[in-house]
Structure 1
Amino acid sequence: MSKHRVLVVDDEANMRRVLEIMLSRRGYRTLSAEDGRQALAMVQEHPVDLVISDLRMPGMNGIELLRELRKQGNDLPLIIITAQGTIESAVEAMRLGACDYLLRPFDNEALDLAIGRVFAAHEMQQQNQFLRGELDRNWDGLVGGSPAMQRVRQQIAQVAPTRASVLLTGETGTGKEVVARAIHRASPRCESLFVPINCAAIPADILESELFGHEKGAFTGALKDRVGKFELAQGGTVFLDEITEMPIALQSKLLRVLQEGVIERLGGNSTIELDLRVIAATNRVPRQAVRDSLMREDLYYRLNVFNIELPPLRDRLEDLPELVRHFLGALHRGPNSHPGVTTQALEYLRQYRWPGNIRELGNMVERASILSGGGALDLHHFPLDEAPPEPLASPADSAALPESLDLDAAVQDLEIRLINEALTQSGGNKTRAAQLLRISERSIWYKLKKYRLGAAAD
């Protein structure tokens, strides 16, 4: 059954009945009125999505009904049907905002097409209004008014007009790509492309070709020239996500792009000048990544011209209600299309540590929305049947400090314990262990060799 309700307006009872039957068979809910005045009263009393009205009726005809609706500021879509149409009446109806004008007798397909066009256009209009509102309110997806997010917005406003490279840091799921896009949209480069590249998702032997492109015959399988992502982003912005997962050898070529503004395609011998901005991101601590030989020190300094550190969700819990509403609006195609979330559920969510940050919240809201069946999200719609959320720890609950304050030794000890635990939980599966630790396979193999753990120590 369609959720759309259609009001049929006609002074002939038989015609009203025929239209009601046609519409009901197509899944629409129907109301009916004998003339324009009765139709106006019904619109005031009932939610109506579409009016199908006869043109000539005693009392108030279809044109007068349409004119009165518009005078009241009501933009309800209306289709005129008539057996006595004239060019003048058609022009007047369309001038007043009628969606269509059908002459009797008409076939069922013509009416179906007219109704389909109305609802398709109305849905598109609603989505556009919502998206414009979200852009105005949330600045390209940045949601929340906490002090932490105000600082991020201020930093975006400061760096966007410049040519400076930007390094985005913060835990996984904190919205680094959203911030990168916001920088691009607020910059003079906004009319050119924003090209995102996930350095961890592309195999190392393919990444170089993806970034720099290649000439025909550069390697086996290179059957034609290919433009790389850097060339594609000419004049715009390249976003290098998880930059510390890029092979060290390739990082040296990236450094040349940043310093000289030129690239060479694989297999080519000519340089290509570039005008683009590079924004990079990592969920690691950059200086530690340098110490672990995951990032070139000179590349770190070249990228870190302007650093924006994104706050974890647990440090901006005042934004949580607005974030939940944002995700619900995105799921249901409108800011007011869902009943929302209960106070008890919000309080529950505030007690969670959110290791996956905004991304985890979005997934949890989507799951709860499915379980709620369109109703308000309540406590039991969140995953209480799974491992309970870890509450935010107070200082008194914190583990005792080790006897030694050697930070490197403590970090190494914690890494070894976590890796061993992940290997235990995954039954020795390195890929699964890396997923549990939220690191790449390349990183876990590096750490296994570094600490001589498991089979990697052989």
Structure 2
Amino acid sequence: MSTPTLTILAVDDEPNMRRLLEISLRQAGYRALSAGNGREALEIISQQQIDLVVSDLHMPGMNGLQLLEVLRNEHEHLPLIMVTAQGEIKTAVAAMKLGASDYILRPFELETLEIAIAKALNVKRMQQENTFLRQMQQPDVTGLVGNSAAMQSLKQMIQQVAPERATVFIVGETGTGKELVAKALHEASPRHAALFVAINCAAIPADMLESELFGHEKGAYTGALKERIGKFELANGGTLFLDEITEMPIQLQSKLLRVLQESVVEKLGGNRQIALDVRVVAATNRDPLQAVKEGKLREDLYYRLNVMQLQIAPLRERHDDIGLLADFFLAKRQCQLSEEARLCLQHYGWPGNVRELENILERAAILAGNQLIQPQHLPADIAQHAGPAAAETTTSADTNMLSIPRTTEAMERRLIMQALDACQGNKTKAAKLLEISERSLWNKLNQYQLR
């Protein structure tokens, strides 16, 4: 896997010093650009992707401190190393307080410069990772669980596809674990040390999605108060997962296609091209070819993404995995299933797939007090598959099958899951199909733990 050469801008008003910095940077393996003062530097930064700035302190027009102040306001993630003279350490410390990454004293050795650059770039990457991790709202997932023929075939495909650079299209119903498969691809790839960045194209308003993907410059639009790093740039060197790609506005799909073809991205409001080395994994809960026919997915984008396709079988087609998945989820609570409850799970159709199984087991564990889960701890439409002995126990309890509230709950749960499945997880459409408000649907999703 090739890594794009990082570009470093050397800023100094002395031609000889500027030339020395350029030579030193190239010897260290970087692409070097130069500017004679702060204003020249800002012009270059506005036109090209710069990864780090090495600037002299004293320059006419705009000195190093003034340049630093502008960069912290307009390009807060761009590191700057200040070059100062021996008697200017107090000023250098002041520059550090203003946000400089480091300072070096002239005259300096090439090794000193290399160490300062490596340190600054490492801090920049850590800051980006920390920002991303704070934004993450994804559940902790530890691995792929299942020994069915379908899962074994999927795991084998992941091992074969992971080392390649090709884009991957994951197809599966809502709740089957498409993001988990994408993470498994990333972890098994040479990119595993870099970031895995996920974005749900259906969960972000259309007018915000472009900025989320590609980033924006300060002032790109009303409310853009500072520069934003897009998900593509954040995932550089790693993997970008585009979930529910068929929900992306068709106009934005054409820009996405261009980014994939050219391996560069431009932020909104900017004209700098940022070189990318990102593996893109896309996913949908629709039939992608049907989505192409319906105009939901550009045909050229589909073929660009569908170099390799991974199909995830729904849970109802891999009954052998239900018990293993149940044990996996309940192990976190140190809770177990009775044989009768296990039988109930095996006979249920699971329209919500693995996600529904996890939510139901969490609820059952709470009702069982984290003790042995019995059929009466399960929803009525699942518990009805219990054997005679379990049915007798259930009937004798307050949660018998003749209970109107429990039967109503089971019916609502089933209708909600069917509506979500019919609408490919779109909550607005599902609410209309159910003839309830979207707010009522969200309340019921929370009530039945179906989110």
Is the pair's TM-score, using the shorter chain for normalization, greater than 0.5?
Answer: yes
Correspondent of 1:382 among 359, 378, 401: 378
Decide whether the 8 Å contact of 1:212 with 1:228 is kept in 2.
Answer: yes
Q: 2:360 aligns with which of 337, 359, 364?
A: 364
Q: Which residue of 1 aligns with 2:264?
A: 262
The answer on whether the counterparts of 2:364 and 2:378 sit within 8 Å (CA) in structure 1 is yes
2:280 to 275, 278, 281: 278
Q: Give the SS at the match of 1:167.
A: strand
Taking a change above 3 Å as real, the CA distance of residues 366 and 256 of structure 1, as seen in their structure-2 partners, is: same
Identity within the alignment, %: 58
CA gap of 1:245–1:219, structure 2 versus 1, over 3 A, is same
* Alignment counterpart, residue 197 of structure 1, candidates 196, 199, 209: 199
Letter in 2 for 1:203: P
Choose between structure 1 and 2 for higher RCO, CA contacts under 8 A separated by at least 6 residues: 2
Q: Which residue of 1 aligns with 2:344?
A: 348
Aligned-residue CA RMSD in angstroms?
2.8
Tell me the SS of whatever aligns to 2:242.
Answer: strand
Whether the 8 Å contact between 2:323 and 2:346 is mirrored in structure 1 is no
Partner Cα separation in structure 1 for residue 369 and residue 284 of structure 2: 37
* Distance apart, 1:426 and its partner CA: 2.1
Once the two structures are TM-superposed, the CA of residue 318 in structure 1 deviates from its matched residue by 0.8
Give yes or no for contact 1:248–1:296 (8 Å, CA) kept in 2.
yes
Q: 2:329 aligns with which of 327, 330, 345?
A: 327
- Written as runs of structure 1 = structure 2, the 5 A alignment for 1:62-101 is none
**Distance between the aligned counterparts of 2:262 and 2:210, measured in 1?**
18
The equivalent of 2:188 in structure 1 is: 186
Corresponding pairs, count: 268
Distance 1:298 1:431 in 2: 37
- Secondary structure of residue in 2 paired with 1:321: helix
Q: Supply the distance in 2 between the matched residues of 1:201 and 1:176 (Cα, whole angstroms).
A: 15
Residue 117 of structure 1 is matched in structure 2 by: none
Q: Which amino acid in structure 1 is aligned with residue 319 of structure 2?
A: L
Distance 2:340 2:226 in 1: 60
The answer (yes or no) to whether the contact 1:174–1:313 under 8 Å persists in 2 is: yes
Tell me the alpha carbon deviations over residues 70-111 of structure 1, each in whole angstroms, 9 at most, x when there is no partner: xxxxxxxxxxxxxxxxxxxxxxxxxxxxxxxxxxxxxxxxxx
Q: State the alpha-carbon separation in 1 of the partners of residues 276 and 184 from structure 2.
A: 22
Q: 2:216 is aligned with what amino acid?
A: H
Cα distance between partner residues in 2 of 1:422 and 1:281:
24
Q: What residue is the counterpart of 1:290 in the other structure? A: 292
Q: Which runs of 5+ in 1 are unaligned?
A: 1-138, 391-413, 438-458
Where do residues 147-296 of structure 1 align in structure 2 (5 Å cutoff)?
Answer: 147-296=149-298
With normalisation by structure 2, the TM-score equals 0.56
Question: Do the aligned partners of 2:217 and 2:228 also contact (CA within 8 Å) in 1?
Answer: yes
CA 1:217/1:179 → structure 2, altered by over 3 Å: closer, same or farther? same
- 1:285 deviates by 0.5
**Cα 1:349/1:240, change in 2 over 3 Å:** same
Higher-Rg member (1/2) = 1
Helix, strand or coil: the match of 2:283?
strand
| Pairwise CA distance, 1:200 | 0.8
Shift of 1:312: 0.3
Task: Give the letter aligned to residue 179 of structure 1.
Answer: V
Letter in 2 for 1:426: E
- Cα gap change, 1:388 to 1:347, in 2 (>3 Å): farther
Name 2:309's counterpart in structure 1: 307
Compared with structure 1, are the counterparts of its residues 272 and 434 closer, same or farther at alpha carbon in structure 2 (3 Å cutoff)? same
1:431 Cα deviation (Å)?
7.1
What letter corresponds to residue 354 of structure 2 in structure 1? Answer: I
- Listed as ranges, the matches of 1:12-91 within 5 Å are none
**In the TM superposition, what is the alpha-carbon distance from 1:434 to its structure 2 partner?**
11
The offset of 1:256, in angstroms, is 1.2
Equivalents in 2 of 1:389, 1:327: separation in Å? Answer: 25
TM value normalised by structure 1? 0.55
Shift of 1:433: 7.6
SS at match of 1:168: strand
Distance 1:237 1:424 in 2: 36
The 3-state SS of whatever aligns with 1:143 is coil
Q: Which amino acid aligns with 2:265?
A: I
Q: How far apart, in 1, do the equivalents of 2:433 and 2:263 lie?
A: 47
1:380 Cα deviation from its structure 2 partner = 0.5
Letter in 2 for 1:162: E
Q: Distance in 2 between matches of 1:421 and 1:254?
A: 28
Report the Cα offset of residue 436 of structure 1: 9.9
